[in-house]
Amino acid sequence: MNVKRAAKYGFCAGVRIADRKVKKFAREGHRGAILGQVVHNERVVEEMRQLGVDTVDALAETREETIVFSAHGVPPSFHARAREQGLRVLDTTCPFVYDIHDEAAAALAAGAHLVFIGDPRHREVIGYTHDLDPADYHVLLRVEEAREIDWSRYEKVRIFYQTTLNAGEFEELVRYIESQVPATRRADTICYATKENQDAALALGRDPEVDLILVIGGRASANTRHLWEICRQHKPSHLIQGVADLDPSWFAGVTTVGLTAGASTPDYVVDEVERALRALAPEAAGESGERMAR
């Protein structure tokens, strides 16, 4: 089986730094708990657990001395709450996420109404909005939502994007807001690594040599799912966590498989999948697939 990787894929700098920080912390003999997954990838979470750094869903659940704040960031108040509980903090928040926290605070102080383009349930967006007065912001994903808002109440608006999104896909939404509030400014908050991964996934989808695409990443990873959504518009595509999810029936008649991976997917997982694919002969997908699965 021929395998063609996307030009850009996998760990972004922020996730790579978070991963290294936690592993260094654990290998130095420390123990702690991560508030939510340090990155949205089950393999990484399991690695951390085996190193003695488990995952908790709330600060009150930790029984360790140290709480780890993930790459997605947390509401600023969580730092104070951790100190009140006597916890040490290992902060692995992506610097780019911190930039958005700072820009949002400055815009609010300047009298702007904040609009976050993103998923209100995503931990990154919760980190931005949890401590704010609900009257000071909106979280939007669709232009239909924006049309239900009385924008005449706001003199100026500052728009921020969830870092894992493609800003181009929300142009209609943003232009509508700009048409309602002339004093609207967009913040440059899309993670460039995410954008590069998405552009490379699109190129892979348009590649005439590629018959099928595998997108590797965690089930809870928003950016991985978005890569899959991009790829499936052009080629048969499957979102997998790793080798165990491969289905030999996918590869009947397939000569070349494209590979990409989300920003929370370790390089070694991509390598494992490629090795399994290269052992799979296109003319005997079923037989080789059984060997691969074992």
Q: Which sequence positions are flagged as catalytic?
A: 124
Sign of the CA dihedral running 84, 89, 92, 98: positive
Distance CA(218)–CA(179), nearest Å, equals: 38
d(CA 100, CA 77): 16
Q: Which amino acid is at 8?
A: K
Contacts of 21 (CB under 8 A, 6+ apart): 90, 92
CA distance 39 to 263: 9
- Work out whether the CA dihedral 52, 33, 19, 278 comes out positive or negative: positive
Q: With contact defined as beta carbons under 8 Å apart, do 265 and 217 qualify?
A: yes
